[in-house]
Amino acid sequence: MARTFDELVAMQRAADQAHTRVEELRDQYGPPAHTPWTELQTDTYETAWRAWRDLARDVQSAMTEYAKEQGTSRTEVEADVKKAVRHPQPEGDG
C-alpha cells in the first residue's frame, strides 16, 4: 500500500507513543524480578509491548516500501521521518 511521507510521520509518532507507554509501565511497576507483577500488570504490560512491537514493525515496513517507490535509501527515509517527528515544522512553514 502506497503511503505518503506524512503518513509515515504519523505512524512513527504512534510507535514512539506506544514505546513511551511501555517505558512508563516499566517505571510504574518496577522490575518484575524484584517486585513480582500482578496478573493485571503483566497483561497490561504485554498488551502495551505488543502494540509497540506491531506499530514499530508496520512503520519499518512502510518506510522500506516508501523508499523503494521513491527510489531512495531506506535509511535516508527513516532519518527524514525521525527528524520530522522529533523536530516538527511550525504550521505554515514549508
Residue 89 confidence class, pLDDT cut points 50, 70, 90: confident
Averaged over 28-45, what is the pLDDT?
Answer: 90
How confident is the model at residue 87, as a pLDDT? 87
Average pLDDT over residues 2-25: 95
- Higher-confidence residue: 50 or 3? 50
Helical segments of 30-88, H only? 39-70, 74-86
For the chain, the straight-line distance linking the first and the last C-alpha, in angstroms and rounded, comes to 26
